[in-house]
């Protein structure tokens, strides 16, 4: 049973690699999606950082100095 599962896994991984090569050849590769994978935690950290930066710029008046 394990041999059958391993054979199926190898077959799938081979076809996935072929699909990836085909997309790369056509110029429709999705490698950028994997390169810029965004996790929910990273999104929350980014949004909190933007909020803190905005608050600091607004409260100190630097917002108007930077963007008149």
Coil vs helix vs strand at 42: helix
CA atoms within 13 A on the CB side of 6: 3
Residue pair 7/1 in contact (Cβ under 8 Å)? The answer is: no
Distance between CA 35 and CA 32 in Å, rounded?
A: 5
pLDDT at res. 51: 96
Greatest Cα pair distance in the chain: 70
pLDDT in tens, the chain (68 residues): 566 666 666 555 556 667 666 666 665 555 655 666 778 888 899 999 999 999 998 898 887 887 77
Angle made by CA atoms 32, 38, 40, in degrees to the nearest 5? 165
């Amino acid at each position: 049973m394990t041999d059958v599962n391993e054979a199926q896994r190898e077959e799938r991984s081979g076809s996935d690699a072929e699909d990836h090569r085909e997309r790369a050849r056509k110029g429709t590769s999705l490698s950028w999606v994997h390169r810029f994978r965004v996790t929910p935690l990273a999104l929350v950290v980014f949004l909190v950082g933007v909020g803190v930066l905005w608050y600091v710029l607004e409260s100190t008046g630097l917002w108007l100095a930077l963007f008149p």
